[in-house]
Amino acid sequence: MDHFQAHIDYPNTELLPILSAETIDFHYGKHHCGYAQKLNALSENTTFTDKTLEDIILQSRGTDPNVFNNAAQLFNHDFYWKCLKREQVQPVGKLKHAIGAQFKDFDEFLSQYKAFANTLFGSGWSWIVWEKDRISFVNTQNAETILGTDQKALCVLDLWEHAYYIDYRHDRPAYIQKMIHACINWTFCESQWPS
């Protein structure tokens, strides 16, 4: 069995009508699973054999772009799917308190995240992170990931075209708007709060 597997814990209809089953099948089946398959092939019989995904990302960053890109994309996608859910439940614990302390209200927090995500040029990821005792928004381009930085990832949106093109064509702002307002699993995001 391959060392690395792509993971998604719900059916392809889970995020309807925001994301279609076709989008999830294409995104997960072609792209996400493809990164796992490529990483397994690239890491076989190398210094990366039997390493954890996190170790591979940390050790290949800046030294082996091919391995890093596939490992980071596998991590980012695993995290992305966990951040999504159609049943909206707002934060109730430490994340809610931090949002209240930093932003006027939850709607203002979402509005600022949406505006920030829309500033990403090209392909990449838009993160909500905990950094230096405050919530920050961070965009990373291409396969770059928060893993291995001083930032603790709480949430991420995939802003690669394959994440939205089937449903939204070139209207990435509409995808961002709908995802932020209707598909974020705030219970999972809160579970990522640093202990």
Q: Is pLDDT of 123 > 60? A: yes
Structural domains for the chain: 21-82 (1.10.287.990), 94-191 (3.55.40.20)
What percentage of the chain has pLDDT greater than the value 90? Answer: 91
Integer Cα distance of 167 and 7 in angstroms: 22
| Range 27-46 average pLDDT | 96
pLDDT greater at residue 88 or residue 81:
81
pLDDT of 164 reads 98
Q: How many CA atoms lie within 13 A of 33 on its CB side?
A: 8
| Range 105-113 average pLDDT | 96
What does the H/E/C string look like for 92-147?
A: CCHHHHHHHHHCCCHHHHHHHHHHHHCCCCCCEEEEEEEECCEEEEEEEECCCCCC
Pairing of strands 134-141, 152-158: unpaired
pLDDT of 88 reads 73
Task: Kindly list the strands in the beta sheet with 152-158, ordered across the sheet, starting from the edge strand earlier in the chain.
Answer: 134-141, 124-131, 152-158
**Mean pLDDT, all residues of the chain:** 95
Report which of 182, 131, 128, 130 is spatially closest to residue 155, judged by C-alpha positions. Answer: 128
Q: Is pLDDT of 175 > 80? A: yes
pLDDT of 1 reads 53
Residue with tokens 């939205």: 164
| Range 52-59 average pLDDT | 96
- Cβ proximity of 40 and 6 under 8 Å: no
